[in-house]
Amino acid sequence: MTIRWEHFAHGADIGIRGRGRTLPEAFAGAAQALTAVVTDPALVEPRQQVAVQCEAPEPDLLLVDWLNALVYEMSTRSMLFSRFEVECDGRRLSARAWGEPIDVERHQPAVEVKGATMTALDVHRDSNGDWVAQCVADV
């Protein structure tokens, strides 16, 4: 699986977008983009595993719940994540995230993500049949 992600411009906040052949790949890409708001994901070693479970009535809301669960784990554990395995059917998500405690000197965190928002929230298939999962992160 190739994780694809990107940022997009949005005023004072940062848009995050994941892409993939499957919905779980797009959600993993969005999680990678979330980490990339804080630091270069390549600097984060996948040393510790954290399990995350979410449920929502539709894929858009599930994306926000997933990303906010990661923000919660990042905040309460003082960790950053760089590897994600996601299983989801659009309503239920079960995932594992691997990362390590924040090392300020090595990771040089740029900002703290406060949460994923409903702004620019969109989960859909593009014209190539790939999944796109995006929203704006409040920083």
pLDDT 10s digits, 53-92: 999 999 999 999 999 999 999 999 999 999 999 999 999 9
Q: How far is CA 13 from the centre of its chain?
A: 15
* 134 close to 15: Cβ distance less than 8 angstroms: yes
Tokens (6 digits) for 48: 């510790």
Over residues 6-32, the pLDDT tens digits come to 777 666 689 999 999 999 999 999 999
Domains and CATH numbers, the chain: 4-138 (3.55.10.10)
